Amino acid sequence: MIKNIFHYKKNITKTKIAILGFGESGMAAAKLGQYLGAKIFISDKQTNKNYELDQFEHELGGHTNKCLESDIIIKSPGINPKNRIIKAIQKKEIPIISEIEFASWFTKSPMIGITGSNGKSTTVKILNELLAIKYKNVMLGGNIGIPFSKNVKKEIQSNLSDCMHIIELSSFQLEDIYTFSPKISCILNLSEDHLDRYETINKYYNAKLNIAKNLSKNSFLIYNRENNDLKKIIKKKKNTISFGINSNKNNFYFKDMKIIDSHNKNNFISCKKIKLKGMHNYENIIACLEICKLLKINFNSIINKLNKIQPLEHRMEVIKVNSNIRFINDSKGTNINSTINAIKSFKKNIILILGGCSKGKIKYSNYINSHLKQIEFIICYGQEGKNIYKDLCNIFKCKYIKNFTQCIKYAIKIANKDATVLLSPACSSFDQFNNFEERGIKFKNIINNYNFS
């Protein structure tokens, strides 16, 4: 299969490509392939016609054997590997690749790949700002919303030089990787997630580790050595760089609300001055500093940039209203470890909102238990809310309210002065919303339209 992939990469104008899934990444891959001269066929299960489809041969309403007439398949990350058409493609031994793999064939610029169970979007946003200090054309893409293929097409069409690609990578995007090889790969952390997709936690971890599948003598892997699961998996060797917040044996460490350069104590970042708060964010910043160190970016310029960076929307976002209650929108907290990080960012009086759509069977009480004394009350909502309530009601004061809007209004009603109402659901949003952004916007709208007088 690898041999075939190299052949199609070199002979793209003679290659027939079937794209499964016509979302944003599928569209971008189709346009890149068409621009390069490949013959494109698009297959999507949706039945709604999209005007952009008219420029390609396509089918709607499901994947048929028409897909099997292709040389290679680009699979949407959302399509489960157990899908019937995937089995048929595998049986015919047609190479299946990800949109990320496909786009990487045609860039001439260095790539930085960031993955992990938590913190990816915040980290790539920080990195995007910091790399702009040195590079004229920094292109941010991948799981953060702009497909990598779109950025590569722009690079080729505009003949961009002095370019650097930053790519946020989910486990789904990393499943079908063969030759993809970033100049710098970074794994922020690993924790339990997506067990609705993967049969075991090890299969999920292995998908994440694909980011470093093609590590070479000219590339680097940066990883969080203080993350227990990562520490067990990755053996430190040449071109691997560990980071963490607690050890001055690393290049950077955290102490007394400062991130300090181990090799020059005069180089430090005051965490009191930056707008990103919480130990998890300080870890993300240290990961970015490791990358910047490899790329020789000026430290004082980094400090100036960091002081200006705002938190991401829906990620520990403070909602400013005229009330003594603090409201935090962490709708992007879609797994249990992300939620734990959010909880630990506050010292007391948390009214925690959990629930949504299950991402696999999770024992919540293994994580959210009596040692988290800052939790005052938990409100569980949605499809998974009943399971969460049953698991936690003997540990905390809890209530189950199925409807999201009613859940939030109840949280406001019971919140005392100086309480923190924290939406950090530990679940995906797909039972009542299309995505975490929609859920976060709904949360903010409820808060902003509430009469606190």
Cα 438 from Cα 374, distance rounded (Å): 28
Dump pLDDT digits (tens) for 5-62.
888 889 999 999 999 999 999 999 999 999 999 999 999 988 877 778 889 999 999 9
- How many other C-beta atoms can be found within 10 angstroms of the C-beta atom of residue 306? 22
107 pLDDT tier (thresholds 50, 70, 90): very high
Domain contains 453? no
Domain that holds residue 87: 2-98
* pLDDT tops 90 at residue 399: yes
Q: What angle do CA 193, 199, 202 make, to 5 degrees?
A: 65
Q: Looking up tokens 């050595």, which residue turns up?
A: 225
Residue 273 token pair? 């001055």
**How large is the average pLDDT for residues 431-443?**
96
Domain contains 200? yes
Cα 287 from Cα 309, distance rounded (Å): 16
Statement to judge: residues 301 and 427 lie in one domain: no
Statement to judge: residues 63 and 180 lie in one domain: no
Residue 394's Cβ-count burial label (10 Å; 0-12, 13-18, 19+) is exposed
What is the CB-side half-sphere exposure of residue 178 using CA atoms within 13 A? 18
Q: Please tell me the predicted confidence (pLDDT) of residue 248.
A: 82
Cα 303 from Cα 63, distance rounded (Å): 51
**How large is the average pLDDT for residues 87-110?**
95
Domain contains 262? yes
Beta bridge partners of 164: 138
Statement to judge: residues 245 and 133 lie in one domain: yes
Q: What contacts 65, CB < 8 A, 6 or more positions away?
A: 88
Domain contains 70? yes
Residue 206's Cβ-count burial label (10 Å; 0-12, 13-18, 19+) is middle
Minimal CA–CA distance to 412: which of 370, 386, 438, 443?
443
Residue 81 three-state SS: coil
Statement to judge: residues 209 and 192 lie in one domain: yes
* pLDDT tops 80 at residue 273: yes
Statement to judge: residues 265 and 328 lie in one domain: no
CA dihedral angle for residue 274, residue 279, residue 283, residue 285, rounded to 10 degrees? -10
2 pLDDT tier (thresholds 50, 70, 90): low
Q: Looking up tokens 């909880």, which residue turns up?
A: 343
Statement to judge: residues 144 and 10 lie in one domain: no
Statement to judge: residues 149 and 202 lie in one domain: yes
Domain contains 312? no
* pLDDT tops 80 at residue 236: no
Listed residues 42, 71, 98: the one ending a domain = 98
Minimal CA–CA distance to 402: which of 415, 391, 386, 416?
386
Cα 211 from Cα 415, distance rounded (Å): 44
Whichever domain contains 83, its CATH number is 3.40.50.720
**Percent of the chain at pLDDT exceeding 70:** 99
Q: What contacts 398, CB < 8 A, 6 or more positions away?
A: 377, 378, 379, 380, 389, 392
Between the alpha carbon of residue 166 and those of residues 176, 185, 207, 359, the distances in Å are 19, 10, 19, 27
Q: Looking up tokens 């621009």, which residue turns up?
A: 35
Statement to judge: residues 334 and 391 lie in one domain: yes
Q: Please tell me the predicted confidence (pLDDT) of residue 81.
A: 84
Structural domain count of the chain: 3
Statement to judge: residues 76 and 121 lie in one domain: no
Domain contains 333? yes
Statement to judge: residues 142 and 50 lie in one domain: no
Domain contains 69? yes
Statement to judge: residues 94 and 134 lie in one domain: no
Domain contains 311? no
* pLDDT tops 90 at residue 235: no
Whichever domain contains 282, its CATH number is 3.40.1190.10
Whichever domain contains 358, its CATH number is 3.90.190.20
Listed residues 78, 98, 118: the one ending a domain = 98
Statement to judge: residues 371 and 413 lie in one domain: yes
* pLDDT tops 80 at residue 319: yes
Cα 362 from Cα 366, distance rounded (Å): 9
What does the DSSP assignment read for 352-385?
A: EEEESB-SS---GGGTSSTT-TTEEEEEEEHHHH
The answer to whether the beta carbons of residues 266 and 94 sit under 8 Å apart is no
Listed residues 98, 133, 150: the one ending a domain = 98
Dump pLDDT digits (tens) for 154-171.
999 999 988 999 999 999
Q: Is the dihedral of CA 79, 80, 84, 86 positive or negative?
A: positive
3 pLDDT tier (thresholds 50, 70, 90): low
